[in-house]
């Protein structure tokens, strides 16, 4: 019974388990990056992202106000204040004034300071230092607190890497665009199906762009942000690299694939063999010679150079994939068109292109994803010593150098960098799966 087509395979549970495992393998780091990008440095240092929703116990070293702020009350010198920022909601369980005994006191108790005077710390972080003589020194007293801090989420990290308020504005605009999308869809409910399918999406995108242009995205850089933190500039640079680097090879490859699939000319088989042979040449071999060529003919390092490089490196696979797909299209349609007097160009535009859409889309996704994630080609062909060009992958590498310990910044930058591939993947995943089979199943 087992080998009858259509019946349930005996090992389907194994399939389910492996799918669940793969999904988990992918989700764990992605969701982790996403959650971490909204957390503060202190929280990341004390607990994993999976505990982000629960209050965390943190050990912190906080300085009381400096002796300059002391005031004299009834002959006593007093420094007063709160260890936490307003409304943090943290609750101190134990505290201390020596790094050797950070849990020496409970809230409300009074500790003798080594240099004279006393300090009392309350559970909510309020403290009062008293001394018969004036406090000396320039730095405030260190207080070691162990506090239960409620979960806290912030857009601050996004402000640092993208510019102030960018994330908040994007969310507001996206909500407005989503509302607009559903309104349009409701309005065009009964209309012609293709038009009704396009208008709501296009309208929402246009509204999003309009809102961003009219009201602006950023209100300046955040204080404390370093020059290397800027991912917004790198984001647009990456887009400038990626979009032409996706479109150019597809256009060229589509023409070439048609010719190799349906036009008869001498040496066709040899050409196809050559293209397949090129698939096995590693691009690393060509980096330096190609750069020398670019510099020799005057292209130099820049966008044109990297577009050409990505085009060249992407073409063999593109041609091979599209040719195999186009060869599989029914011969009858093409012959009918020829009998009716269609030229090769008309056949290509009217028949082949629309029918090859799944293959074109799937290759576009592949090419987009790997030019988006590329670092090596960009380093060689784009990034020069003028500092005007960079890509996100490179910006993240440099960020590792300057912000190696700031995991919240790194997670945010990483999430900004994977956000677009995520959107592309989710929006076009049906083509991706179809494209995986392109050329393999006829």
Applying CB under 8 A, the residues found at the interface with other proteins are: 59-61, 98-100, 102, 114, 138-139, 142, 144, 224, 226-228, 287-288, 291-292, 295, 300-301, 379-380, 383-388, 397-398, 400-405
Query: In the complex, what is the shortest distance from the CB of residue 166 to other proteins, in angstroms, rounded to a whole number?
Result: 21
232 close to 177: Cβ distance less than 8 angstroms = no
Query: In the complex, what is the shortest distance from the CB of residue 295 to other proteins, in angstroms, rounded to a whole number?
Result: 5
Query: In the complex, what is the shortest distance from the CB of residue 294 to other proteins, in angstroms, rounded to a whole number?
Result: 8
How many CB atoms lie under 10 A from the CB of residue 440? Answer: 9
- Which letter, b or e, does each residue of 351-372 get, where b requires 16 or more Cβ atoms within 10 Å of its Cβ? bbeebbebbbbbbbbbbbbbbb
CB under 8 Å to 32, separation ≥6 — which residues?
Answer: 49, 50, 411
Distance CA(337)–CA(323), nearest Å, equals 19
C-alpha dihedral over 34, 37, 40, 42, to 10 degrees? 70
**Quick one: 142 or 430, whose CB is closer to other proteins?**
142
- The radius of gyration computed from the CA coordinates of the chain, to the nearest angstrom, equals 31
84 close to 138: Cβ distance less than 8 angstroms = no
Query: In the complex, what is the shortest distance from the CB of residue 100 to other proteins, in angstroms, rounded to a whole number?
Result: 5
Q: What are the angstrom distances between the C-alpha of 379 and each of 25, 130, 384, 387? A: 30, 60, 8, 12
Query: In the complex, what is the shortest distance from the CB of residue 238 to other proteins, in angstroms, rounded to a whole number?
Result: 17
DSSP state letter for 67: G
**Quick one: 60 or 324, whose CB is closer to other proteins?**
60
Query: In the complex, what is the shortest distance from the CB of residue 400 to other proteins, in angstroms, rounded to a whole number?
Result: 6
């Amino acid at each position: 019974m087992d080998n009858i087509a259509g019946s349930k395979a005996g090992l389907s549970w194994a399939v389910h388990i492996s799918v669940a495992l793969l999904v988990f393998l992918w989700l764990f780091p992605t969701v982790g990056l996403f959650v971490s990008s909204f957390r503060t440095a202190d929280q990341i240092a004390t607990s994993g992202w999976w505990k982000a929703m629960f209050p965390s116990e943190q050990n912190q070293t906080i300085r009381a106000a400096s002796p300059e702020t002391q005031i004299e009350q009834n002959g006593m010198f007093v420094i007063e204040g709160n260890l936490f920022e307003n409304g943090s909601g943290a609750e101190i369980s134990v505290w201390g004034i020596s790094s050797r005994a950070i849990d020496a006191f409970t809230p409300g108790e009074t500790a003798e300071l080594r240099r004279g005077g006393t300090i009392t710390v309350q559970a909510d972080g309020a403290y009062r230092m008293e001394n018969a003589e004036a406090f000396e020194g320039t730095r405030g007293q260190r207080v070691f607190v162990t506090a239960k801090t409620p979960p806290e989420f912030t857009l601050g990290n996004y402000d640092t890497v993208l510019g102030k308020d960018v994330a908040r504005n994007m969310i507001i605009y996206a909500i407005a665009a989503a509302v607009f999308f559903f309104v349009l869809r409701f309005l065009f409910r009964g209309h012609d199906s293709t038009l009704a399918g396009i208008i709501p999406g296009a309208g929402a995108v246009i509204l999003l762009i309009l809102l961003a242009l009219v009201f602006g995205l950023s209100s300046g850089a955040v204080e404390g942000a370093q020059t290397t933190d800027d991912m917004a500039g790198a984001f647009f640079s990456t887009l400038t690299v990626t979009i032409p680097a996706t479109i150019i090879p597809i256009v060229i490859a589509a023409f070439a694939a048609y010719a190799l699939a349906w036009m008869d000319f001498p040496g066709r088989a040899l050409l196809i063999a050559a293209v397949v042979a090129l698939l096995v040449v590693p691009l690393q071999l060509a980096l330096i010679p190609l750069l020398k060529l670019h510099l020799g003919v005057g292209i130099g390092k820049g966008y044109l150079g990297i577009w050409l490089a990505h085009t060249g490196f992407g073409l063999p696979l593109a041609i091979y994939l599209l040719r195999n797909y186009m060869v599989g299209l029914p011969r009858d349609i093409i012959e009918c068109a020829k009998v009716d007097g269609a030229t090769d160009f008309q056949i290509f535009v009217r028949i082949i292109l629309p029918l090859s859409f799944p293959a074109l889309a799937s290759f576009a996704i592949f090419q987009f994803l790997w030019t988006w994630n590329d670092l090596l080609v960009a380093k060689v062909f784009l990034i020069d010593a003028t500092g005007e060009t960079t890509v996100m992958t490179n910006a993240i590498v440099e960020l590792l150098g300057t912000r190696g310990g700031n995991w919240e910044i790194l997670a945010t930058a990483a999430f900004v960098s994977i956000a677009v591939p995520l959107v592309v993947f989710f929006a076009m995943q049906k083509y991706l799966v179809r494209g995986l089979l392109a050329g393999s199943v006829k």
